[in-house]
Structure 1
Amino acid sequence: MDVLVVGGGPTGMTLAGDLARAGRDVTVLERWPSINPSSRAFATMARTLEVLDARGLADELLATSGRTEAVNLFGGGRLDLSHLDSRYRFAMITPQAKVDQALGRYAQDQGARIVRGAEVTALTQDATSVTVTTGDGRTWQAAYVVGADGAHSTVRGLLGAEFPGRTVLSSVVLADVRLARGPSDGGLTVGSQPDSFAFLAPYGDGWFRSMTWDRNHQVPDTEPIADGEVQRVLTRGLGRDLGVEEISWQSRFHCDERQVRDYRHGRVFLAGDAAHVHSPVGGQGMNTGIQDAANLAWKLDAVLGGANEAVLDTYQSERHPIGRRVLRQSGLMMRAVVLHPRPARWLRDRLAPRVLAVPAVRDLVAGSFAGTGLRYGRGSLVGTRAAQVRTPVFTLVRPRRTPPLDTPVAQQERTGPGPALLVRPDGYIAWSGDLTDNGPRGWQAALARWTHA
Structure 2
Amino acid sequence: MSTMRTTDTDVLVIGAGPTGLLLAGDLAAAGIDVTLVERRPHGLSNMTRAFGVHARTLEQLDARGLADELLTKGTPLPRARLFGRLDLDLSRLPSRFNHLLVTPQYEVEHLLERRAKDAGVTFRYGTELRGLRQDADTVTAELTGPDGAPFTLDARHLVGTDGVRSAVRTALNLPFPGSSVIRSMVLADVRLTEEPGRLFTVSGSGDTFAFLAPFGDGWYRVMGWSRTRQVADSEPVDLDEVREIARRALGTDFGMHDPRWISRFHSDERQAPAYRVGRVFLAGDAAHVHSPAGGQGMNTGLQDAANLSWKLTAVLRGEAPDPEALLDSYQSERHPVGAMVLRSSGAIVRLAMAHTPLTRTARALAARFLNAVRPASARAMGMISGIGIAYAPPAGSGRPAGRRAPDVRLREGRLYELLRAGEFVLIAPAGEPPALPGTAPVSPARLVRATWTDPARRTAVLVRPDGYVHWTSR
Partner of 2:380, secondary structure, is: helix
Could you tell me whether the CA contact under 8 Å between 2:351 and 2:359 is conserved in 1?
no
Query: Measured at CA, do residues 75 and 40 of structure 1 come closer, stay the same or move farther in structure 2, by a change above 3 Å?
Result: closer
Q: State whether structure 2 residue 460 is matched by structure 1 residue 420.
A: yes
Q: State whether structure 2 residue 244 is matched by structure 1 residue 244.
A: no
Aligned residue in 1 for 2:138: 129
Could you tell me whether the CA contact under 8 Å between 1:75 and 1:353 is conserved in 2?
no
Query: What is the letter of the counterpart of residue 428 of structure 1?
Result: Y
Aligned residue in 2 for 1:256: 268
Could you tell me whether the CA contact under 8 Å between 1:75 and 1:352 is conserved in 2?
no
Q: 1:386 aligns with which of 405, 413, 431?
A: 405
Aligned residue in 2 for 1:367: 382
Q: How does 1:286-305 map to 2 (within 5 A)?
A: 286-305=298-317
Aligned residue in 2 for 1:167: 180
Aligned residue in 1 for 2:102: 93
Query: What is the letter of the counterpart of residue 165 of structure 2?
Result: H
1:309 CA drift (Å): 2.4
Query: What is the letter of the counterpart of residue 423 of structure 2?
Result: V
Q: State whether structure 2 residue 19 is matched by structure 1 residue 11.
A: yes
Query: What is the letter of the counterpart of residue 183 of structure 2?
Result: S
Q: How does 1:329-344 map to 2 (within 5 A)?
A: 329-344=344-359
Aligned pair count reads: 432
Q: State whether structure 2 residue 163 is matched by structure 1 residue 176.
A: no
Query: What is the letter of the counterpart of residue 309 of structure 1?
Result: P
1:402 CA drift (Å): 5.1
Partner of 1:11, secondary structure, is: helix
Query: Measured at CA, do residues 171 and 84 of structure 1 come closer, stay the same or move farther in structure 2, by a change above 3 Å?
Result: same
Aligned residue in 2 for 1:358: 373
Query: What is the letter of the counterpart of residue 52 of structure 1?
Result: L
Partner of 2:176, secondary structure, is: coil
Q: Which runs of 5+ in 1 are unaligned?
A: 435-453
Could you tell me whether the CA contact under 8 Å between 2:428 and 2:458 is conserved in 1?
no
1:191 CA drift (Å): 1.4
TM-score normalised according to structure 1 size: 0.92
TM-score normalised according to structure 2 size: 0.88
Q: How does 1:3-402 map to 2 (within 5 A)?
A: 3-33=11-41, 34-135=43-144, 136-184=149-197, 186-306=198-318, 307=320, 308-310=322-324, 311-377=326-392, 380-388=399-407, 389-390=415-416, 391=419, 392-399=422-429, 401=430
Structural RMSD (CA):
1.7
1:250 CA drift (Å): 1.1
Q: 2:472 aligns with which of 391, 409, 432?
A: 432
Could you tell me whether the CA contact under 8 Å between 1:46 and 1:89 is conserved in 2?
yes
Query: What is the letter of the counterpart of residue 400 of structure 2?
Result: L
Partner of 2:91, secondary structure, is: coil
Q: Counterparts of 2:136 and 2:366 in 1: how far apart (Å)? A: 55
Q: Counterparts of 1:413 and 1:357 in 2: how far apart (Å)? A: 40
Partner of 2:136, secondary structure, is: coil
Q: Counterparts of 1:153 and 1:105 in 2: how far apart (Å)? A: 24
Q: Which runs of 5+ in 2 are unaligned?
A: 1-8, 408-414, 436-443
1:180 CA drift (Å): 1.0
Q: Counterparts of 2:290 and 2:400 in 1: how far apart (Å)? A: 30
Query: What is the letter of the counterpart of residue 173 of structure 1?
Result: V
1:398 CA drift (Å): 1.5
1:38 CA drift (Å): 1.5
Of the structure 1 ranges 157-166 and 36-45, higher mean CA displacement relative to structure 2 is found in 36-45
1:205 CA drift (Å): 2.5
Could you tell me whether the CA contact under 8 Å between 1:35 and 1:97 is conserved in 2?
no
In the TM superposition, what whole-angstrom CA distance separates every residue of 1:396-453 from its partner, at most 9, and x where no partner exists? 0124x5566796321112346573100111111010114xxxxxxxxxxxxxxxxxxx
Could you tell me whether the CA contact under 8 Å between 1:397 and 1:422 is conserved in 2?
yes
Q: Counterparts of 1:228 and 1:75 in 2: how far apart (Å)? A: 24
